[in-house]
Amino acid sequence: MYDLNDTIVAVSSPTSDKRVIVRITGPETIETCKQIFNSPITNHRLHKFRWINTDKSVKSLIIGGICGVDAELKIDAQLYLFLSPHSYTGDDLAEIHIHTNPAVTEVLIGNLLGKGLRMAGPGEFTARAYLNGKIDLAQAEAVNEIIVSSNAFQLAAAEKLLSGRLSETTAKVRSAMMDCLSLTEAGLDFSAEDIELETGAEVIERLLGVKKQLEQLLTGSIRYESLIDLPAVGITGAPNAGKSSLLNKLLGKERSIVSHKRKTTRDVLTALCTLTHCRCVLFDCAGLTPSLVARCSSHRSRATGDGPRDVLDELAQQAAIEALRNSAVVVFCVDISKADWSEDISIRELIYSSCVEHDAYCVKENTQYAICDTKLIPVATKCDLVSERVLSNRLAELNELFGIELLVTSTETGDGLELLRETIDRKIIELEPGFETAKSDATPLFESTQSSVALTARHKQAVTEAIENVSESISELRAGNDEVAAMMLRAAYQAISGIESAAGGHVDEQILENIFSRFCIGK
């Protein structure tokens, strides 16, 4: 059962919306927000709001500001505070709205868990709402949601783990921990028996091995923090220019939903890509709408009197621009199967202007263009859709229009993809030489991306907790406090068991089973 006194956090599904919403509810909500937001959340402000809030016409207190994703990374965000009891759950509830990529979201969640919050269980927000008397009808639906989301949660978790090597690794570690735990417990419960147990030193030796494996799991897997630091490759272009297909081909597996309908990719999707000399993060930037882009980029302060606008659309576009601005290399896709390139021209302007703001010292126009061109890789997509004659005509036209030669590709035939990969690799090395990895580390693109493991904030928390407990158990064993060491080891074991969704049964029965199968116990 969920502990109602915990402060819990959940990420709203970003698929149907462009925002990522991180929801927090529980007694520590306000305190947590105070810690991560730069805008003052004063008691006076809260009190005033609480007063206004009594008539329920104003639902939430909206605070714009900078959200500390972790100690270093700060991003723009909006905070919606719903104070108890006028919130969905009936407890204090906060929504942090951000426009960012999943990597940053994961880091933010990790930061929140580090502050003592707990990931919400399936349907837990709804359960809380019900238990606090906030939802008094449609009980069946509420319950149903729990079950459905519970299944979805388990499915998602299972899928994630099965596809990676995480569960494989944790199963090994878990079994090693169970052995150490059993040996320690056998020393406590069966010390009067005529059995030869491994000495404390040997158990410690094995535990050091366990600790090392766990640490490798932390350092060796793809962490979202490391994705933030890797050179970014933005893939951009007009809506439906084939960016997602290209990304998928570069990664060798389906990473984002591709459809022929325009604007299907509405978020900045992130994926890790290993090239011959370096690794990079691919960003599939949202389909940009030039008119919107122009408005957003031309003046940050919004013009008044524009009438109702989709603020979120704007913010999504800004997120895309931000991603492009931070990209080391920009792959600019132009659909060569169509004849009208007005949109593409606008987008190219946008890429240039993003360079201007980024590299503020570039004052002269020519210099700007030169710098932008060095990080730009223009790509002609869907080349299989036109005849060779049309292709060569259009290429010539585009080369003249953009003043730069386009790389010819087709995700259908695979033409030009290898060259594109090499070009990205080369450009990153040229522009950001620090990212070159040793040759021996470089593995072929497809295999390595498929076998990489990404630790989510929840997993990371579990592994970190296990490492702490294993370390403590080692020092307790060294001090001869076996009974305390066993307690720590049990905690470590349970932390790791939590990663694998399948319930492992009662720990003490597993310990006893392990002992009885190995040792002849019983006088």
Interface mask (CB under 8 A) for another protein, residues 4-33, using x and -?
-x----------------------------
Q: How far is the CB of 38 from another protein (least distance, A)?
A: 31
Q: Which two tokens stand for residue 98?
A: 């951000």
Could you say whether residue 124 binds another protein (CB under 8 A)? Answer: yes
Closer CB to another protein, residue 5 or residue 298? 5
Provide the greatest CA pair distance for the chain.
Answer: 92
d(CA 236, CA 330): 7
Return the residue of 39, 60, 84, 150 that touches another protein, per CB under 8 A. Answer: 150
Site for another protein in 289-308 (CB under 8 A): none
β-strand pairing of 8-11 with 118-119: parallel
Count the residues of the shown chain that bind another protein, applying the rule CB under 8 A: 48
Phi/psi zone of residue 427: left (φ > 0), alpha (ψ -120 to 50 degrees), beta?
Answer: alpha
Could you say whether residue 447 binds another protein (CB under 8 A)? Answer: no
Q: How far is the CB of 457 from another protein (least distance, A)?
A: 19
Q: How far is the CB of 108 from another protein (least distance, A)?
A: 24
Could you say whether residue 118 binds another protein (CB under 8 A)? Answer: no
Closer CB to another protein, residue 401 or residue 487? 487
d(CA 46, CA 296): 32
Rounded-to-10 torsion of CA 449, 450, 452, 455: 120
Residue 74: which H helix or E strand, with range?
A: strand 74-82
Closer CB to another protein, residue 127 or residue 474? 127
d(CA 102, CA 35): 22
Return the residue of 62, 131, 138, 370 that touches another protein, per CB under 8 A. Answer: 131
Q: Interacting stretch for another protein, rule CB under 8 A, among 87-95, 180-188, 290-298, 360-368?
A: 180-188
Could you say whether residue 259 binds another protein (CB under 8 A)? Answer: no
Could you say whether residue 123 binds another protein (CB under 8 A)? Answer: yes
Q: How far is the CB of 198 from another protein (least distance, A)?
A: 16
Rounded-to-10 torsion of CA 434, 438, 444, 445: -20
CA distances 175 to 5, 62, 67, Å, are 33, 49, 40
Could you say whether residue 88 binds another protein (CB under 8 A)? Answer: no
d(CA 437, CA 345): 36
Return the residue of 271, 273, 463, 511 that touches another protein, per CB under 8 A. Answer: 511
Could you say whether residue 152 binds another protein (CB under 8 A)? Answer: no
Return the residue of 140, 360, 363, 438 that touches another protein, per CB under 8 A. Answer: 140
For residues 511 and 178, the answer to whether their CB atoms sit within 8 Å is yes
d(CA 230, CA 164): 21
Return the residue of 10, 407, 417, 487 that touches another protein, per CB under 8 A. Answer: 487
Could you say whether residue 503 binds another protein (CB under 8 A)? Answer: yes
DSSP letters for 424-479: HHHHHHHH-GGGPPPGGG---HHHHHHH--B--HHHHHHHHHHHHHHHHHHHHHHT
Closer CB to another protein, residue 49 or residue 190? 190
Could you say whether residue 147 binds another protein (CB under 8 A)? Answer: yes
Q: Which residue has the tokens 């299907």?
A: 264
Return the residue of 38, 191, 367, 451 that touches another protein, per CB under 8 A. Answer: 191
Return the residue of 55, 194, 388, 400 that touches another protein, per CB under 8 A. Answer: 194
Closer CB to another protein, residue 188 or residue 208? 188
Could you say whether residue 197 binds another protein (CB under 8 A)? Answer: no
Residues pairing with 64 in the sheet: 78
Backbone angles phi, psi at 378, to 5 degrees: -75, 135
Q: Which two tokens stand for residue 479?
A: 């001090």
d(CA 383, CA 390): 10
Return the residue of 376, 445, 486, 489 that touches another protein, per CB under 8 A. Answer: 486
d(CA 122, CA 147): 8
Burial of residue 313 (CB within 10 Å: 0-12, 13-18, 19+) is: middle
Could you say whether residue 190 binds another protein (CB under 8 A)? Answer: yes
Could you say whether residue 479 binds another protein (CB under 8 A)? Answer: yes
Residue 173: which H helix or E strand, with range?
A: helix 166-189
Could you say whether residue 199 binds another protein (CB under 8 A)? Answer: no
Q: Interacting stretch for another protein, rule CB under 8 A, among 50-58, 66-74, 181-189, 235-243?
A: 181-189
Q: Interacting stretch for another protein, rule CB under 8 A, among 115-123, 312-320, 321-329, 367-375?
A: 115-123
Could you say whether residue 490 binds another protein (CB under 8 A)? Answer: yes
Q: Kindly report the CA angle at 323 between 24 and 268, in degrees rounded to 5? A: 60
The binding site for another protein (CB under 8 A) comprises: 1-3, 5, 121-124, 127, 130-131, 139-140, 142-144, 146-147, 150, 185, 187-192, 194, 479-484, 486-487, 490, 503, 505-506, 508-509, 511-512, 516, 520-523
